[in-house]
Chains A and B, each alone.
Chain A
Amino acid sequence: MMRFAVAVLTVVLTVAGFADAEEKRVRRVAVPVVKIEKGDACVAPTEEMRRDHMNRLLHQRDRTLRQGIRESRFSLKNCIDCHASRETGSVLGKDAFCSSCHAYAAVSMDCFECHTPLRQSRAAGAPR
């Protein structure tokens, strides 16, 4: 009985310790905000998108520009359409879909040097 109580106590303390560490980490580093603004599901399973979105975009960009194949599934425009923030209409900025994750992972992206980060209707100046 005594042994069981010790085991339970140990487990509880360990979990509490982890939670505490987690909380500290959260406070130290801004955790990415992955907020899906529109639609139920992405164009591919989440795991695949997390790991592979850059390759999908790279492949599609060459097909679109060089061959004129304009499929919307993996197009940057399609990404922005769903993932742009409701408030700002953009995927960039604090807590925005692209920039929060990229800031967390310290990976710079060049897409928006040329491409507009705004959702299409916003970019066209039309009220949403």
Chain B
Amino acid sequence: MSPDRRQFLGWGAAAAAGTVLAPVIRLIDLAQARSPQEAASALQRWGLLIDITKCADCDECVTACHEENGVTGHGRPETDAQWIRKVSLRDKRTGYAQTLPLMCQHCEHPPCVDVCPTGASFKRDDGIVLVDKHTCIGCRYCVMACPYGARSFIHETVSGQKSDVPRGKGTVESCTLCVHRVDRGETPACVEACNRDGGKAMVFGDLNDPSAEIHRRLRSEPSTQVRADLALNTGVRYQGL
């Protein structure tokens, strides 16, 4: 079966399931967020929508991310970890400048997972791409495979980690979509900071949930994936790029 046909059937099935299950899921949703005993489900797919036209010239998202996850540097930009960074774009002809936050795009078909020799790089059922540092051997294949340069290697001994975010020398790490917050029913730190102190450019939500703002906007407004030509079906989408 060609990928297109398979994808089409997948959408059909998802739509059918959505029609049948949506009211039920909605009810459960209203009752409570996913309980701690419940596993992440493939019915959901977490994603971000970032409107670059609103992206202000600030780095609130970067600061909030690194604060939330205890990502600290040693003042050595060549080797310090970056979970999220601000990228500046400038049209050479017109001089039109844009800035956007770039982090792990949480692909549906992540190259970092394909190349991992130990299975440490993996995608959770709800679409969040993570590194299992218990099995990561620090080979850095994933760092090379990621087209977005989203992964960092920890070169030096770490101390003062956050209890929800273990980090250690010799392993690879990247944006976790603040998985510990998502599991508590909260939004990632970058989204919260952007909506509080930044340009209100970021929306977080379930791409599969028809009632979610992110789903509605992706359906009704134009959006792009970075390096859409790679057909990775990213979970992070951009507008105004």
Which residues of A are in contact with B by a Cβ distance under 8 Å?
A: 61-63, 65-72, 77, 80, 113-116, 118, 120, 123-124
- Binding-face segment, B157-165, B191-199, B210-218: B157-165
Rounded to whole Å, the gap between the CB of B188 and the closest CB of chain A is 15
Whether B124 is near chain A, meaning CB under 8 Å from some CB there, is: yes
Return the contact of B166 from the options A67, A114, A124 (Cβ within 8 A). A114
Rounded to whole Å, the gap between the CB of B124 and the closest CB of chain A is 6
Which residues of B are in contact with A by a Cβ distance under 8 Å?
A: 34, 36-40, 122, 124-126, 130, 132-134, 158, 160-163, 166-169, 171, 179, 183
CB nearest to B168 among chain A residues = A114
With A115-B166, A116-B160, A123-B162 given, is the CB distance from A65 to B125 under 8 Å? Answer: no
- Bound-complex Cα distance A80 to B158 (A): 19
User: Inside 8 A of B130's CB, which chain A residues have their CB?
Assistant: 65
Are A71's CB and B163's CB within 8 A? no
Are A114's CB and B167's CB within 8 A? yes
- Bound-complex Cα distance A71 to B39 (A): 10
Q: Most chain-B Cβ atoms within 10 A of its Cβ — which of A70, A72, A80?
A: A70
Other contacts beyond A113-B168, A120-B163: 15, CB < 8 A: A61-B134, A62-B134, A65-B132, A68-B124, A69-B36, A77-B163, A114-B133, A114-B158, A115-B161, A115-B163, A116-B161, A116-B163, A123-B161, A123-B163, A124-B162
Describe B's contact surface by its main secondary structure: loop
Q: Most chain-B Cβ atoms within 10 A of its Cβ — which of A66, A68, A69?
A: A68
Are A72's CB and B158's CB within 8 A? no
